[in-house]
Chain A
C-alpha cells in the first residue's frame, strides 16, 4: 500500500491564482482531513470528510473548498491564493472501524508559497 499520497510536493503561486492540492489514499479509509501547518505552530484543521459526498468545515476553512466524489480522493482547492495561505498542507485519513487503533495517517505534505 502507498498509504496517503499528496501532489505536488512543492508549489509557488502568485496572489490571486487558483490551484488544487491532490490527496489520495489506498487504505479504503472513510475519514479524510486537510490540515495546514504554519511555522512554529501545530496543525490546524481546514476541512474534513466522513465519506464520499460528505464534507464539513474545520477550524480554518475560509479560502478553501473541498469535495469527495470517491472514497480514495480528497482534493483541496484554493480559490484565490493569498500570502496568508503560505503553509505546509497535510492530508490525513482514518478508518471508521473502531478497535485497537485510532490512528490518523498523514501524507507527506505539500509546501505552498504564495507571493
Chain B
C-alpha cells in the first residue's frame, strides 16, 4: 500500500521568510496530493492540492510542486505570517472513487515574530 513520509517534523522560521515542507510517496498509482493545515484543536482544512498531471500550482503565498519521477512533492509558503503557525499534513491518494487519503506524519510550523 501507499506510504507517505514527511519532513521536517518541526520547522521554525522568522516572520516574512519562506518555509518548505517535503513529502515522498511510494505508490506510483497515486495521482492526487492535497495539503492540509490543522490548528490546535481544530479540524484539518485543505489549503492546496495538486493532481499528477500538473507540476506546480500556486495560490497567493502558497505553492505546491510535484516530481512524479522522484515521487516527491513539496509545500512552499512565502512571506510567512504569524497566522501560518499550525501543523501541516501532506497526503496522497488515487483521485478516483472514495479518495482513501494516506497522510504524512505532519510538520509543526512556528512563525517567530
Contact = CB atoms under 8 A, between A and B. Distances in A.
Nearest to A56: B98
Interface residues of B, number: 25
Interface in A63-105: 90, 94, 98, 102-104
Contacts of B95: 98, 102
The 6 closest A-B pairs by CB, nearest first: A42-B103, A106-B43, A31-B98, A43-B103, A103-B46, A48-B98
A27 to B, nearest CB: 15
Contacts, number: 62
Interface size classification for chain A? 20 to 34
Contacts of B101: 33, 35, 43, 45, 104
5 contacts: A43-B44, A48-B100, A59-B1, A59-B100, A90-B43
Interface string B33-75: 0100000001111100101000000000000000000000000
Given A41-B106, A42-B106, A102 B99 contact: yes
B38 to A, nearest CB: 9
Contact of B103 (A33, A44, A49, A50): A44
Nearest to A91: B43
Nearest to A111: B41
A60 B106 CA distance: 19
Given A45-B100, A45-B101, A94-B99, A106 B106 contact: no
Interface in A28-43: 31, 33, 35, 40-43
Contacts of B45: 106
